[in-house]
Amino acid sequence: MGWVRRNLATKDEKVEGLVVAHRADKQIQYALDMVSGITLMLYTVDFSLRISE
């Protein structure tokens, strides 16, 4: 975010961050609570198998 703010964003642009993870523990929640402008999104992966015809 700092690099984007210094090198890509204009003076008036808002820079936001995104953390994508499979799971989040208390430590990541505590860390994100200290930094504004970062969103945490959790992902799941689902798949199924089928026999080839």
Query: Rounded to an integer, what is the distance from CA 53 to the centroid of its chain?
Result: 40
Which helix (H) or strand (E) segment is 45 a member of?
none
Q: Write out pLDDT tens, residues 8-49.
A: 999 999 999 999 999 999 999 999 999 999 999 999 999 999
pLDDT for the residue 3: 96
pLDDT for the residue 11: 92
- Which of 40, 33, 34, 47 shows the shortest CA–CA distance to 17? 40
Q: Which residues pair with 46 in a beta bridge?
A: none
pLDDT at residue 53 is higher than 90: no
